[in-house]
Structure 1
Amino acid sequence: MTTSAPTTTTNIVRFDHDRPLWRRTLMTRESAIIGLLAVVLIVASVTVNGFAQPLTYNYLLLDVAPILFIALPMTLVMTTGEIDLSVGSMAGLASVTTGALVQGGMPFEAAAFIALVVGVIGGAFNGFLVTTVGLPSLAVTIGSLALFRGIAVGMLGTTAVTEFPEYWTALAKAKLAGTQIPWVVIPFLVLLVIFVVLFHFTPFGRGIFAVGQSKDAAHFSGVNVNRTKFIVFVLAGAVAALAGVYYTLRYGSARGDNATGLELQVIAAVVLGGVSVFGGRGRIHGVIAAVLLIGALSSALRLSGVTSDIINIITGGLLIVSVVGASLFAWVKSKRSTISPARVAASPAS
């Protein structure tokens, strides 16, 4: 008497490598976002008075720089199936920390370094509660959002620190010599290379995808699930603090309400850029294109006289359409994959 081992199936996302390379490259959500970004830039440059001027593009990159920074680690966090809603408050706390220390007589460089350490500690705090205590990341980061913002407001109250070294404030808004590209693009490109390599070309990055697809399967495959999640939360806190320091220099002011609402813009861009809200799927180039798309669209509409409320409605509509469209596409694809084997089984053997 023989028995067969029971078989189990798991819903793991796999890329369709049976399709031609051009289809896997061009027929993707990320490519659609890049194409839409190109259309928005072209149309805006033709129809919006002044939008095509290089100076405006310079300001566009300066404005979206904090979102670009934080979107990098947020991509990793959400690919694991978690979320971090505290990044905007952490940026504000880092801004206030920098301002308070500079106001107390500390050199700016040392103050900025301590602000980055505060970001690492805040990210580790979130990661500890999620991985060791076992609390859901949504509840944890909603709590830390209020905690970090409360500390930031409590440190300075309603006052603002505006005395920063002129060298650093000028550098935050400076352009590369002979170009219209802001200097802040350089540190962003350095971080971009680091995160692309880490996310797409290392075992740690493959572990992030595995955790997002199935925590149990990832664990049995040898991935340290808790350590992976802890590291991505620490990265989110550190980069959010870096964005907060830049935010301070960009506007020359450290206030308790700096970067308020920034986390919503980051999450909207990450989801619009193709990262699944359920984890297990994401590409950094799609996220970067989505950040630039939202920034370009907002700038074009603002220059056309559209109010901020309408801009928020349009941005929210894009986000909803992207989430619903992705879910609908996945549902249709799953239906097709279940119908095809049935047709093969029903066909007569040759």
Structure 2
Amino acid sequence: MSRKLASWDTAIILLTVLVLIIASLAVDNFGTSRNFTFMVLDLLPIILVALPMTFIIVTGEIDLSVASTLGLTSSLMGWFWNHGLSIETIIPLCIVIGAVAGAFNGFLITGLGLPSLAVTIGTLALYRGLALVVLGDSAVADFPFNYTGWVTGTLSWLPWLDGAVPNVLILIVVLALIFGVILHATPIGRSLYAIGANAQAAHFAGIRVARTKFWLYVVSGAVAGLVGVLWTLRYSSARADNGAGLELAVVAAVLLGGVSIFGGKGSLPGVLAGVVLLTALQNALRLEDVSGQALNIVTGALLVLSVLLPNVISSIRGNWQRRKLRQSAAS
């Protein structure tokens, strides 16, 4: 029990609660229902993309193309709308296109054996370039209000909450529960940890490593496509540069939540806490009129700390255990 309480996940969850309390007391308007709605809308793209990203990093891989996939699907959404397709057709089509982009990543990584870091850096540029080809520097902004209003609206059937619960929170909760159950309560989740710990041993144990990783990239692309749709509807603007830089925040949140960059370790509750912590810090700094450059510095610093601190703690713990063993052997 003491080891569980001392875990990185628990520490991040407690730190998140502490930051939320301090920000509510020290930052004007942070604790209001209106700001809560804005904060949920801000964390929506990060948390949704972080769900499949957690699975990918647990297996020891990474996907840096998610933000560009988002931008590509946003551009295509605007192009399809300008060419007369209905919004009911465009939404699933964009999700499928995102899945195809993820499948291309998966094929290069698992089919050709290329490193995921190099592949997804390449497709990061490729998909963003395609988004610019599709829509250029223009924007499409005349999407149906019943869709844009739903994304930015609150649950009207909960009037006693004074409009504080955004509609999209339902989507976040449902997808987080699905991904959480898969990762922590099914053989699929156990196979992901096994792959991240030792892919060769997992292969000899009967786990289809390449096929598993391939489908993870397909899911990651599909979710990025969905987020591209939601991003476009939230701002009522389809643009090629939508979501630019989002991959940094997603990776920072996942690593901050305790998922090892080397694979095999981490949990979804820790990741969710990492997303909330990162979003809350950025929101509080915006309310204090901190510049966008400073927000990038905070995100980058958290990313470095999330990689550095667990390794430092692990090294200290290992040295302490070795010293204890030597003392026991000497006595």
TM-score by length of 2: 0.95
Question: d(CA) in 1 for partners of 2:206 and 2:318?
Answer: 28
The residue identity in structure 2 corresponding to 1:74 is M
Q: How does 1:201-350 map to 2 (within 5 A)?
A: 201-347=185-331
Pick from 176, 188, 200 the counterpart of residue 192 of structure 1.
176
Question: d(CA) in 2 for partners of 1:184 and 1:274?
Answer: 25
Q: 1:219 deviation in Å?
A: 1.2
Question: d(CA) in 1 for partners of 2:7 and 2:313?
Answer: 11
Instruction: Please list the CA deviations of residues 64-107 of structure 1 after superposition, one character each: whole Å capped at 9, or x if unmatched.
Output: 10111000000000111101000000011111111111111111
**1:102 match:** 81
Greater displacement, 64-73 / 32-41: 32-41
Question: d(CA) in 1 for partners of 2:97 and 2:297?
Answer: 34
- SS of 1:300's partner is helix
In our comparison, the structure showing a higher alpha carbon Rg is: 1
Pick from 68, 90, 109 the counterpart of residue 130 of structure 1.
109
Instruction: Please list the CA deviations of residues 219-262 of structure 1 after superposition, one character each: whole Å capped at 9, or x if unmatched.
Output: 12211111111111111111111111000000001011111111
For the aligned residue pairs, the C-alpha RMSD in angstroms reads 1.4
**2:21 match:** 42
The residue identity in structure 1 corresponding to 2:137 is T
Question: d(CA) in 2 for partners of 1:135 and 1:280?
Answer: 20
Q: How does 1:40-189 map to 2 (within 5 A)?
A: 40-177=19-156, 178=159, 179=161, 180-189=164-173
Whether the aligned pair in 1 keeps the contact of 2:251 and 2:303 (CA below 8 Å) is no
The residue identity in structure 1 corresponding to 2:72 is L
Question: d(CA) in 1 for partners of 2:274 and 2:185?
Answer: 22
Q: 1:137 deviation in Å?
A: 0.2
Question: d(CA) in 1 for partners of 2:222 and 2:192?
Answer: 18
Q: 1:346 deviation in Å?
A: 4.5
Question: d(CA) in 2 for partners of 1:181 and 1:248?
Answer: 20
**1:6 match:** none
Identify unmatched segments of 5+ residues in structure 2: none
Q: 1:188 deviation in Å?
A: 1.4
Question: d(CA) in 1 for partners of 2:290 and 2:185?
Answer: 42
**1:33 match:** 12
Q: 1:311 deviation in Å?
A: 2.4
Q: 1:183 deviation in Å?
A: 0.3
Q: 1:335 deviation in Å?
A: 2.7
Question: d(CA) in 2 for partners of 1:317 and 1:161?
Answer: 35
Question: d(CA) in 2 for partners of 1:236 and 1:116?
Answer: 10
Greater displacement, 129-138 / 156-165: 156-165
- SS of 2:220's partner is helix
Whether the aligned pair in 1 keeps the contact of 2:20 and 2:280 (CA below 8 Å) is yes
Whether the aligned pair in 2 keeps the contact of 1:212 and 1:278 (CA below 8 Å) is yes
The residue identity in structure 1 corresponding to 2:63 is D
Q: 1:144 deviation in Å?
A: 0.7
The residue identity in structure 1 corresponding to 2:90 is A
Q: 1:301 deviation in Å?
A: 1.3
Question: d(CA) in 2 for partners of 1:50 and 1:40?
Answer: 15
The residue identity in structure 2 corresponding to 1:109 is E
4+ residue runs over 6 A deviation: none
- SS of 1:158's partner is coil
Whether the aligned pair in 2 keeps the contact of 1:121 and 1:237 (CA below 8 Å) is yes
Question: d(CA) in 2 for partners of 1:212 and 1:55?
Answer: 41
Question: d(CA) in 1 for partners of 2:154 and 2:6?
Answer: 36
Identify unmatched segments of 5+ residues in structure 1: 1-20
Question: d(CA) in 2 for partners of 1:296 and 1:303?
Answer: 11
